[in-house]
Structure 1
């Protein structure tokens, strides 16, 4: 259920920003998700469909991109990205990795129609 409060925050921020810039319709909200954010984009979309009803964000589409998992190898010191299929350092194959990525999410951008559109 944490997606409900997150979705409300996303909606509040998006409405505020759109109105500051003369927005009359929010068409798309683009999110960047940290690899450990625990956010399920489909749930955000479902809650957004409910919460945005009757606002300029009604019908908005959520587009989410999950950021890669960034690590620093504690053996060779190099930074890289890993996947769930290959969790070792790509340079030295060590499993002694420091996670650099976070559990944050960012509202990357909004697609908004304004009075002049």
Structure 2
């Protein structure tokens, strides 16, 4: 059920950034999710479809980018994909591993339509006194 809260946070972040960019529509989001995170893509999508109704993010596509789990051996320093059957370093056999990838969860990008009079995000005006 924690997907409802994180989906609401995703929507709030997307709407905030879209407003600051003077966007008229949010077309899609790219969400990075580590293999070891407890986030369920289908649940996020379900809540998104519900809570985005009536906003400029309604019908936006959620693109989930999965990151595989990886571990670094604290004995020999070797980094490799996490073998969930042995939980051992493939180089030296040690079970002393530190997770280095696979626990991620973040919003990587937002695809928006900008208002016709909006400058491109990289065209910021600056003034020098």
TM-score range, shorter chain: 0.7 to 0.9
Q: What is the correspondence of 1:48-59 to structure 2 with a 5 Å cutoff?
A: 48-59=48-59
Task: State the shift of 1:17 in Å.
Answer: 0.3
**1:29 counterpart residue number:** 29
For structure 2, the residue ranges without an aligned partner over 5 or more in a row are 119-129
SS in 2 for 1:100: strand
**1:94 counterpart residue number:** 94
Structure number, greater radius of gyration: 2
| TM-score, length basis structure 2 | 0.79
CA contact (8 A) 1:41 1:62 kept: no
Task: State the shift of 1:28 in Å.
Answer: 0.8
CA contact (8 A) 1:71 1:101 kept: yes
**1:19 counterpart residue number:** 19
SS in 1 for 2:36: coil
**1:65 counterpart residue number:** 65
**Aligned residue pair count:** 117
Q: Tell me the alpha carbon deviations over residues 32-74 of structure 1, each in whole angstroms, 9 at most, x when there is no partner.
A: 1123220011111110000000000000111111212121113
For the structure 1 residues 75 and 110, does the alpha-carbon distance in structure 2 shift closer, same or farther, using more than 3 Å as the test? same
C-alpha RMSD of the superposition: 2.1
